[in-house]
Chain A
């Protein structure tokens, strides 16, 4: 067995809301990007665990110092606890694919991690620091590039990766994307949550809800355009469970991210060589958790009509598109590529 086959390749998509991992041993997992530590001795005794990750952390949040350590797709600045939380999250992801921290075999781990297209260089540096000791060699690539690579959409396409913290755009022109080919918008899934909470609070000031309930509602019912059905949810009013119609609020909140997304997409397309713009407009690919908003492709295509028309599609597996793409890059990189990265680290 050669060195390349002995190494375990992984692709990681570290998201503000969810993080996914795809590994060359066939394992694929997704976790909510939450990390929590028991608040005090009582909580420690009750939970019998030192750290909680993902859904388990959310479930036990009342007893935990709960962190969502990634903001706009990178480690939050200024808090050691958030850095620690990212390390815990990464360790957890690695353990899910069957690699444990105190493992005896010395399988080399080669990781490709997706970061927002315009992540500050310093933020990338901190992410590398967090990966230290978790993977042997790390390559950071822009998230939409990883998606494009996994789909082999390498020429005349636009990838729009809409996550919770950021919407990342990348025009693929058969080259590794430069700054001119990429954009990052800070308004994505989280912006919808905030807007939805605001609108519900304005219309129903007596209703009690949390941001987690809002996220849950959005993930189940998010849509843009004409509603297919009324969206009814249950929330307490003065402690009594009550039914609420949030159709209009949900639609307004989801549509609030459309103008910047369409504008950015059209701006990127306009920068492509004129003879290829039509091809690019007909290959708009949506990925990321927020690409599952019902009616989104129609809304994008409607915006494209103003510039000659086009076609938008959602990737088959939006949650894993980034990590699968990362894995594909990790697999295709040669031993000498990894050695080069290792020497530069």
Chain B
């Protein structure tokens, strides 16, 4: 039996351990070659306007062909024609034959490594509630909780940031790619002008013609540092994303768990389902990637709920169950998704 002195010694060690950062702290890989940068405002405006323009051009092409289905090559041409507008200021990359998605049963896949991306950080506060609650803080808190749950279930977890620091959107994606992550989960909080609304939504990469989503993407993309020369590549990725099926499965699993869990505490919350949007952070990642808006900082009731530790934990557990469920489904496991975040 341990005496008081021994107990104290052990507790001090545990307190020290609690103060030492965890081993998975990420060091973002720096970009070696200096990149041509354009003013962020200009880049955001251009990206947004092109993304709004492209769905419209796709509709025109569809109508011209008289067919509801547009071959991939035709979409590719529309991308190229949009890219031509900028031909004088960049050297276009030559697109190869677009890869076609393979049926997932061809390869036995599994999820081992997950990159969690808490939105914003440092000087980029993200959405801010009337009371001053910042998106960067809540997204980090939930992300750290999610990491704990995933690690408890033997996933390897990497974080794009684990302190209040600014990390570029491109670096977040580069980090996930360089780490050979299996999944990328970006955690954000929404801000909706109609403040009475409470909405949960999960995004995968893709075009949108919804003005509200375009506005949201423009807001979340504000920290983008892409140069104009990279636009073509971005647009190709948005339209021909071969990961979209897997991303969508992951998004559906997460959205279902999140809504099911949150509505028990917050019954007025609205399920907005899985949507597509051109979030820059999703463009560059090479693995199934989603962006989830876990709550609305524009709604005072939700802000109040978010101050509660249990509510944030509840969100993290729902995200965990969504990821776990997707991973189980991928390897066809019969294992049940644990409710408490611990592997059974």
> Which A residues form the contact surface with B (CB < 8 A)?
77-78, 118, 120-122, 125-126, 139-141, 145, 149, 152, 154-155, 174-176, 179, 183-184, 186, 329, 332-334, 337, 340-341, 344
Contacts and interface: CB of A to CB of B under 8 A. Distances in A.
Given A125-B163, A329-B12, A332-B12, A340 B20 contact: yes
Contacts of A334: 12
A87 B132 CA distance: 22
Interface string B134-150: 10110011001000000
Nearest to A78: B132
Given A125-B163, A154-B4, A333 B12 contact: yes
A33 to B, nearest CB: 20
Contact of B21 (A120, A174, A344): A344
Contacts of B7: 154-155, 174
B164 A176 contact: no
Contacts of B144: 121
Contact of A341 (B2, B11, B16, B164): B16
Give the one of B4, B11, B137, B163 with max A CB within 10 A: B11
B309 interface: yes
Given A152-B8, A329-B12, A341-B20, A184 B307 contact: no
B4 A152 contact: yes
Nearest to B309: A118
B344 interface: no
B334 interface: no
B16 A121 contact: no
Contacts of A154: 4, 7-8, 11
B15 A139 contact: yes
A269 to B, nearest CB: 17
Contacts, number: 70
Given A77-B132, A118-B309, A176 B8 contact: no
B88 interface: no
Contacts of A145: 15
A184 to B, nearest CB: 7
Contacts of A329: 12, 15
Contact of A333 (B16, B20, B140, B309): B16
B4 to A, nearest CB: 6
Interface of B: 2, 4, 7-21, 132, 134, 136-137, 140-141, 144, 163-164, 307, 309, 313
Given A141-B18, A154-B7, 10 more contacts: A77-B137, A118-B309, A126-B164, A154-B11, A176-B11, A183-B309, A332-B9, A341-B16, A344-B19, A344-B20
A182 to B, nearest CB: 9
15 contacts: A122-B136, A125-B164, A149-B8, A152-B8, A154-B7, A155-B7, A174-B2, A176-B14, A176-B15, A179-B309, A186-B307, A329-B15, A337-B16, A341-B19, A341-B20
A152 B3 CA distance: 11
Nearest to B163: A125
Nearest to B18: A176
Given A152-B8, A344-B21, A120 B15 contact: no
Contacts of B307: 186
Contacts of B313: 179
A333 B19 CA distance: 13
A161 B265 CA distance: 28
A329 B18 CA distance: 14
B189 to A, nearest CB: 14
A57 to B, nearest CB: 24
Contacts of A174: 2, 7
B141 A122 contact: yes
Contact of A149 (B11, B13, B137): B11
B35 to A, nearest CB: 30
B280 to A, nearest CB: 24
Contact of B137 (A120, A332, A340, A341): A120
A140 B17 CA distance: 11
B16 A340 contact: yes
Nearest to A138: B19
A334 B15 CA distance: 12
A184 B310 CA distance: 11
A155 B11 CA distance: 11
Contacts of A184: 309
Contacts of B14: 175-176
Contacts of A78: 132
A58 B313 CA distance: 40
A18 to B, nearest CB: 24
A122 B140 contact: yes
B232 to A, nearest CB: 38
A77 B128 CA distance: 12
Nearest to B128: A78
Nearest to A145: B15
Given A141-B15, A344-B21, A120 B141 contact: yes
A251 B12 CA distance: 40
A334 B8 CA distance: 12
B126 to A, nearest CB: 13
A286 to B, nearest CB: 21
A335 to B, nearest CB: 12
A122 B137 contact: yes
Contact of B12 (A77, A155, A337): A337
A319 B140 CA distance: 33
Contacts of B10: 175
